[in-house]
C-alpha cells in the first residue's frame, strides 16, 4: 500500500477557491476574484452556460480562459494563498510521518478485513492541508486529501477509504461497503475500541448511506466471523440480495 505525498500549488489554490479555506480574508479574496473575473470564475465552477449561450461563444470562451489565467496568477500571489501553502507544507510533513509510522498496521488490518490482495500501484496523494476539507479518489491512482483530525487516526482511515475506491465500483452499495471496512471496522481496530457509525460524539460516514449500511450490518458481522469468505464474495452476495441486504 504505497502512497506518495505531494503538493500541487495550482491544485491547492483551485480546490480552496471552489470550496473554502479556513483562513482570515479567504472569502474576501474569493469575492474580489469573482468581481474582477466572473466569466473565468464561472468556467472554473463548471458553469459553461454563460460561455456557450452566446452567438460568439469562441470569443467568450477565449476571454473566460484568459480570466482563468489571471485568477490563478493573482490568487496565487496573495498573502492568503501563502498562508494556505505553508499550512499544506506543514501538514504534508505530519501526514507523511503519520503514514510511515502506521502503514504496516493499516495494511495488516485491511488485509485481514478484505482477505484479498491490495493494489500494488503507487498512489499519489495531493495534500491540501487541514484548512481545506476534501477527500476524493481522482482515478489513475490519485487522491486529493486534506482535513482536520475529527477523531484519532482520522486521516489514516480516510486515506484507506479513498484508496479502496480503486477496488470497487461507484455504486451506493460498494460505497457503503467501503465505509463499513474503513470508516467503521478499520477505525475501531486502529483506535482499539469504539462503535459503528459514531466516534467522539460525531456521526461517521455519509448520512445517505447509513440506512443501507445498518441494513447490511448483520451480514457484515457474519462475514467478519467467517474467515472462508473474502470481500468480493460479500459484495456479490449483497448484490444478489439487493431487496434484503442483511441476508
Looking at the fold, whether 65 and 180 belong to one and the same domain comes out as no
Looking at the fold, whether 68 and 125 belong to one and the same domain comes out as no
Q: Which cell is 91 given?
A: 501538514
For the stretch 129-183, pLDDT in tens is 999 999 999 988 999 999 999 999 999 999 999 999 999 999 999 999 999 999 9
Looking at the fold, whether 170 and 122 belong to one and the same domain comes out as yes
**Res 109: pLDDT:** 98
Looking at the fold, whether 131 and 220 belong to one and the same domain comes out as yes
Looking at the fold, whether 15 and 120 belong to one and the same domain comes out as no
Residue 86 is assigned to a structural domain of this protein: yes
Q: Identify the burial level of 91 via C-beta atoms within 10 angstroms of its C-beta, where 0-12 means exposed, 13-18 middle and 19 or more buried.
A: buried
122-127/2-6 β-pairing: parallel
Least confident of 103-112, 132-141, 185-194: 132-141
- 155 to 68, 83, 117, 135: CA distances (angstroms): 32, 21, 22, 9
Looking at the fold, whether 87 and 149 belong to one and the same domain comes out as no
Residue 246 is assigned to a structural domain of this protein: no
**Res 243: pLDDT:** 62
pLDDT band at 53 (very low <50, low <70, confident <90, very high): confident
Looking at the fold, whether 117 and 235 belong to one and the same domain comes out as yes
Asked whether the whole model's pTM tops 0.85, one would answer: yes
Looking at the fold, whether 120 and 235 belong to one and the same domain comes out as yes
**Res 55: pLDDT:** 63
Domain housing 16: 10-91
Residue 78 is assigned to a structural domain of this protein: yes
**Res 247: pLDDT:** 65
For the stretch 57-94, pLDDT in tens is 778 888 999 999 999 999 999 999 999 999 999 999 99
Among the candidates 32, 59, 91, a domain finishes at 91
The three-class DSSP label of residue 65 is helix
Looking at the fold, whether 133 and 233 belong to one and the same domain comes out as yes
Amino acid at each position: 500500500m504505497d502512497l506518495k505525498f505531494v503538493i500541487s500549488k495550482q491544485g491547492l489554490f483551485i480546490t480552496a477557491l471552489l470550496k473554502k479555506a479556513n483562513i482570515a480574508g479567504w472569502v474576501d479574496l474569493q469575492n474580489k476574484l469573482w468581481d474582477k473575473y466572473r466569466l473565468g470564475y464561472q468556467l472554473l465552477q463548471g458553469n459553461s452556460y454563460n460561455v456557450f449561450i452566446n452567438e460568439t461563444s469562441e470569443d467568450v470562451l477565449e476571454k473566460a480562459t484568459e480570466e482563468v489565467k489571471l485568477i490563478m496568477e493573482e490568487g496565487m500571489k496573495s498573502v492568503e494563498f501563502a498562508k494556505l501553502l505553508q499550512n499544506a507544507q506543514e501538514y504534508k510533513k505530519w501526514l507523511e510521518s503519520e503514514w510511515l509510522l502506521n502503514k504496516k498496521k493499516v495494511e495488516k488490518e485491511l488485509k485481514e478485513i478484505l482477505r484479498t490482495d491490495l493494489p500494488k500501484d503507487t498512489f499519489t496523494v495531493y495534500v491540501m492541508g487541514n484548512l481545506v476539507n476534501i477527500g476524493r479518489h481522482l482515478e489513475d491512482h490519485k487522491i486529493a486529501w486534506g482535513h482536520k483530525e475529527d477523531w484519532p487516526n482520522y486521516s489514516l482511515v480516510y486515506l484507506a477509504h479513498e484508496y479502496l475506491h480503486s477496488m470497487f465500483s461507484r455504486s451506493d452499495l460498494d460505497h457503503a461497503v467501503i465505509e463499513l471496512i474503513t470508516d467503521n471496522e478499520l477505525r475501531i481496530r486502529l483506535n482499539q475500541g469504539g462503535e459503528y457509525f459514531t466516534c467522539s460524539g460525531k456521526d461517521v460516514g455519509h448520512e445517505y448511506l447509513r440506512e443501507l449500511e445498518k441494513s447490511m450490518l448483520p451480514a457484515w458481522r457474519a462475514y467478519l466471523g467467517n474467515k472462508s469468505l473474502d470481500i468480493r464474495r460479500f459484495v456479490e452476495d449483497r448484490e444478489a440480495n439487493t431487496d434484503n441486504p442483511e441476508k
